[in-house]
Amino acid sequence: MVVSAAALPTRTATDSPVATAIPRILSIAGSDPSGGAGIQADLKSISALGGYGMAAVTALTAQNTHGVRAVHVPPAGFLRSQLQAISDDIELDAVKIGMLADSQVIGVVRDWLREHRPPVIVLDPVMVASSGDRLLDAEAEDALRELVHLADLVTPNLPELGVLMREAEPGDWAAAVRMAQQLADAQQTRVLLKGGHLSAGPARDALLVPGEQPVVVELPRLQTTNTHGTGCSFSAAIATCQARNGDWGQSLAEAKDWLHTAVARGAELRVGSGLGPVHHFHRWHPEPVTDDWWRRIEPIRAGILELPFIRGLAAGTLPEPEFSYYLAQDARYLNGYSRALARASALAPDERQQAFWARGAANCLDVEAELHRTWLQKHPASPLEGPVTKKYVDHLLAASGSSYAVLVAAVLPCYWLYSWVGKELAASRSLIDPHPYGAWLDTYADEDFAAATEQAIEFAAMAAARVDGAERELMWQAFQAASEYELEFFDAPRAALGQAGSGR
Ligand SMILES: Nc1ncnc2c1ncn2[C@@H]1O[C@H](COP(=O)(O)OP(=O)(O)O)[C@@H](O)[C@H]1O
Ligand SMILES: Cc1ncc(COP(=O)(O)OP(=O)(O)O)c(N)n1
């Protein structure tokens, strides 16, 4: 059975609700100083889902978003002391178990579980690093296999499932589900098979319960590098939900839905240059309105990439008169755009924003002069203002008579779409050597411009956060109209020179 995360079954007769208002959840796991995985991820996940989090540390790692550099395992006796201190004093509603560094550590955890038998035990069998390296020696792997039947839920990813079953990693989803069902039946426990490691298709997981049909949950696979600690976060989230509602299907659905948005919004955290963390507390941080605008202009973005002008530019087949027309209009446009940016500088609420827009205004004049000095000398074209250029500049000048917030929204698409088109074209530019428009395309992908774009987006989001709903709507309208003018601007050479279909 395949269901969306939101449509999973509610409580079944065999599930017993714990019905605790704030569930008390203990994570027994390793420390990740970069905060994306291990106990740090567990505590954030537990808190984000409304639990009270505790942590008994099994190992200290030295790692960041690029990988694990070293592992230090404190004496197993000290882990026993941590667990004893907790169970001597605190009633637990669930335990989540993550990285267990060696067989001695696993022995301590096994003995403690047998003695105290917490109501919910979720075991994330951390055995294989993202790099594919085995994290446990053979003795520890055996000890971990023996721990599986003590868990209410075990959550292997594909490589870990293979190791638990002493078989090769399953090659596809169907084989993985079969293997996970065998594990569930053999150990008489629930298995949550995680499909994040599959290279294509949706982000799919399956809950296997002995003697029952598999329940598959899937959500779209996100194109992101923010996947560090997804397994830790997922298992801690499921443990928390299960302690609260006592229904495995519902807990899986809740945790999956929460994790999906956490993965989607991980990039907002700007942590590290490798595989970044997920945004555990996304529900506390409203999405910047600029992200919503960007999503809403998706049809415009798709339209831009389909334009004969852009396709011809990428392929190097764009007729030169169209390129010259575009450059001449760009020079005209930049002059008007510079005035709008200067006005944004004048209206800016602080000196940082004032200086930013003033620098942008000056840059436009420099680029305009440069266009005349270099390209337009070699590619002469009519200097008269075209109809699209006029409409677009008029829009910016009208916004200049409005508020700072509306003006910033109006000038934003020129930064954002230009920088985005630059990245989109960079790949095809590198395939053609020499590329007739190569030198010019390189200016599109300029890193300083990309940084300025990020800054402009942030200032627009800040402005949007300070205005009321009516003005935010005006900001959106100004942003949307400017985005449409960007599309028309790229299409203007074809329309003006009457060469429909050229550039292909
Ligand atoms: N790119 C992605 N988009 C959406 N969900 C993902 C993505 N990568 C992983 N997930 C989800 O994160 C959870 C953890 O999966 P996985 O990466 O397989 O585990 P682990 O982190 O233990 O290796 C799963 O629910 C999986 O579907
Ligand atoms: C201390 C520590 N524990 C576990 C992991 C592995 O994290 P996980 O969520 O299983 O997955 P990836 O980060 O490999 O996607 C870790 N890195 N550190």
Distances (CA, A) of 8 to 220, 253, 387: 16, 6, 55
Instruction: Count Cβ atoms within 10 A of the Cβ of residue 284 and give its class: 0-12 exposed, 13-18 middle, 19 or more buried.
Output: exposed
Clarify whether 261 is annotated catalytic. Answer: no
Residue 5 has pLDDT above 50, yes or no: no
Distance 228 CA to ligand 2 centre (A): 7
Residue 269 has pLDDT above 90, yes or no: yes
Domains of the chain: 24-160+224-282 (3.40.1190.20), 289-497 (1.20.910.10)
Clarify whether 501 is annotated catalytic. Answer: no
Rounded CA-CA distance 50/497 in Å is 62
More confident position, 320 or 108: 108
Clarify whether 67 is annotated catalytic. Answer: no
Distance 157 CA to ligand 2 centre (A): 11
Q: Mean pLDDT, to the nearest integer, of 45-49?
A: 98
Which protein residues are within 6 Å of ligand 2, measured from CB? 29-32, 37-38, 61, 98-99, 126, 130, 227-232
Residue 1 has pLDDT above 70, yes or no: no
Task: With cut-offs at 50, 70 and 90, classify the pLDDT of residue 7.
Answer: very low
**Model confidence over 277-293: pLDDT tens digits?**
999 999 999 888 999 99
Q: Tell me which H or E stretch contains 339.
A: helix 320-347
Residue 427 has pLDDT above 90, yes or no: no
Atom 17 of ligand 1, residue of closest alpha carbon: 196
Clarify whether 374 is annotated catalytic. Answer: no
Atom 11 of ligand 1, residue of closest alpha carbon: 196
**Residue spans of beta strands (DSSP E) within 147-268:** 153-154, 190-194, 203-208, 215-219
Percent of residues, the chain, with pLDDT higher than 90:
78
Residue 503 has pLDDT above 70, yes or no: no
Distance 59 CA to ligand 1 centre (A): 23
Residue 134 has pLDDT above 90, yes or no: no
More confident position, 435 or 414: 414
- Residue 499: per-residue pLDDT: 52
Task: With cut-offs at 50, 70 and 90, classify the pLDDT of residue 139.
Answer: very high
Clarify whether 10 is annotated catalytic. Answer: no
Task: With cut-offs at 50, 70 and 90, classify the pLDDT of residue 502.
Answer: very low
Cβ contact 227:263 at 8 Å:
yes
ipTM comes to 0.98
Please report the atom of ligand 2 found closest to the CA of residue 32.
Answer: 1
Distance 209 CA to ligand 2 centre (A): 25
**Model confidence over 185-215: pLDDT tens digits?**
999 999 999 998 888 889 999 999 999 999 9
H helices of 348-402, in order, are 351-373, 375-378, 387-400
Global confidence as pTM: 0.74
- CA angle, corner 33, sides to 29 and 35, nearest 5? 80
More confident position, 12 or 182: 182
